[in-house]
Amino acid sequence: MFKNNFSLPVRVYYQDTDAGGVVYHSIHLNFMERARYEWLRELGFNVNSLLEMHKVLFMVRSLEIEYFKPAVLDDFLNVTVAVKEMGRSRITLFQEILCSHVKLVSATIHVVCVGTETLKPVSIPVPLREKIGKPA
């Protein structure tokens, strides 16, 4: 169902937690964003190249997130990225945060490719589209 599975290892630091040592809910979004950036980099497209060469960037349009178990100080996490769907200007991604293969968080994130000058939807650059391929 998903294609281009990617995983980024992340350590939970003190700055990521609340007073009880539990990862604050919005920090999970930071971890997921970091994983999306690294996923693009692994495909050969860093954010600067998308901005400079292709004059595009990706913006989150919407997301659904579920929290199952807490991450705590010093946990070693794996943050995954997988392509669920791809349209002309939109990519739907499925992301999870795992600790020792236990699912802590899952999210479906819809990102839209926009032109840097107008911030309006534009087609995903062909080289990136070809790298992503079609989801299975």
For 9-38, what is each residue's pLDDT tens digit?
999 999 999 999 999 999 999 999 999 999
Cβ-based neighbours of 34, under 8 Å, separated by 6 or more:
8, 10, 79
CATH superfamily of 3-132: Hotdog Thioesterase (3.10.129.10)
pLDDT of residue 2: 57
The reported pTM is 0.92
Residues of the chain with pLDDT under 50: 1, 135-136
Residues belonging to the active site = 18
Q: Enumerate the domain spans of the chain.
A: 3-132
- Return the half-sphere exposure (C-beta side, CA atoms, 13 A cut-off) of residue 135: 14
pLDDT of residue 133: 83
